[in-house]
A and B are shown apart, each in its own frame.
Chain A
Amino acid sequence: MNRVVLEQKVLSENDRIAGELRERFQKHGVLCLNLISSPGAGKTSILERTLEGRAPGDRVAVLTGDIQTDNDAARLARFGFPVRQITTGGTCHLDARMVERALADWRLEDLDLLLIENVGNLVCPASYDLGEAAKIVMLSVAEGEDKPLKYPSIFFKSALMLLNKIDLLPHVPFDIAKARANANQVHPQIEMIEISCTTGQGLDLWYRWLNNRGNKHCRFGNSSPL
């Protein structure tokens, strides 16, 4: 019997492509963010609010992933920025190859910000690097405050947690302090912003976070995903 030591990542092919994408984003000064949540937490809504808040001519683009339909792309296209749907056809996450293909005919030198909306899922997207500068996890108060403990991987790997739908707090038993404590337990350094895409509360903090991150990105280049 012959034992061959392999010592390679299982997803080494994905990581290789993600590494190439990260280099390209860095070279062209594109801040790429990977937005992840369970279905219905409000990923498309925060993207709508984000695009709405940008000046015409801002160099922003969106890739949006879904298993089926291009409904999200249609919702987002009305703001006049480039939007492209990635339909995974059953796959529960985006991978680097899908992003590479979707970007094939876009000129990265014309972009400052690329927002990627992952497939609604808190598990699988955690494993796939897309070349992003940071992952952002979104949790809505219509869910359980124990989500960070149930899905520690994605909360650990995300730089920022957006707590959405806070306008619903008077009507749901969600304990926001507990949610924050749970997220901190999994990832002590995670940043948190409370928002409501419906009322607009907290969006100014989100816009500021984006601007700061964009400025830092221009000065220092990309950080590694972890």
Chain B
Amino acid sequence: MHELGIANSVLEAVRVELGRHPGASPVRVAVRVGVLAAIDPQALAFSFQALTAGTEWESVLLDIQTLPRLHHCPACGITFRVIEYGFACSGCGESRTRCVGGDELELAYLELEEA
């Protein structure tokens, strides 16, 4: 539902970055979205397309990388990927593990065609 606002924030960040590269044009922008970020990648892709359609940025590609939920185990020290809701350590079985990844909503990189 709020993916349109998120897409707008992505474009805003691209605009700011372009200010540092006079004459360059954007080709691709990559974002990282964790599974806990409450963002639907398809809706984000659709919103991005809707915002850029008919503009000079129509051909800019949005690359969405989905990130898993990661937990850290204080007992054995490993970080593991949570599948479904299995929070117990996949290494030693410790049940009290801590969430350390999965709520990312980050800009990764921007590819530019230099003038």
Contacts and interface: CB of A to CB of B under 8 A. Distances in A.
Interface of A: 1-13, 91-93, 121, 123-124, 126-127, 149, 151-154, 156-157, 185-186, 188, 226
A126 B35 CA distance: 12
Give the secondary structure class of A's interface: mixed
B81 to A, nearest CB: 15
B6 interface: yes
Given A10-B6, A11-B9, A127-B37, A1 B113 contact: yes
B2 A153 contact: no
Contact of B105 (A3, A7, A11, A157): A11
A2 B36 CA distance: 31
A2 B114 contact: yes
Contacts of B36: 152-153, 156-157
Given A10-B6, A13-B9, A92-B2, A3 B109 contact: yes
Given A10-B6, A13-B9, A1 B37 contact: no
A2 B2 contact: no
A28 B87 CA distance: 38
B114 A153 contact: no
A185 B10 CA distance: 32
Contacts of B17: 4, 6
B37 A4 contact: no
Given A7-B106, A9-B105, A10-B106, 9 more contacts: A1-B113, A6-B13, A7-B107, A9-B107, A91-B5, A92-B2, A93-B2, A124-B1, A153-B37
Given A10-B6, A10-B13, A91-B5, A156 B109 contact: no
Nearest to B107: A6
A226 B99 CA distance: 9
Given A153-B36, A153-B37, A153-B38, A5 B108 contact: yes
Nearest to B2: A124
Contacts of B38: 123-124, 126-127, 151, 153-154
Given A10-B6, A91-B5, A123-B2, A5 B109 contact: yes
Interface string B23-43: 010010001000011110000
B4 to A, nearest CB: 10
Interface in B55-110: 85, 87, 96, 99, 103, 105-110
Contact of B103 (A7, A123, A226): A226
A149 B84 CA distance: 10
Given A3-B111, A4-B21, A123-B2, A10 B85 contact: no
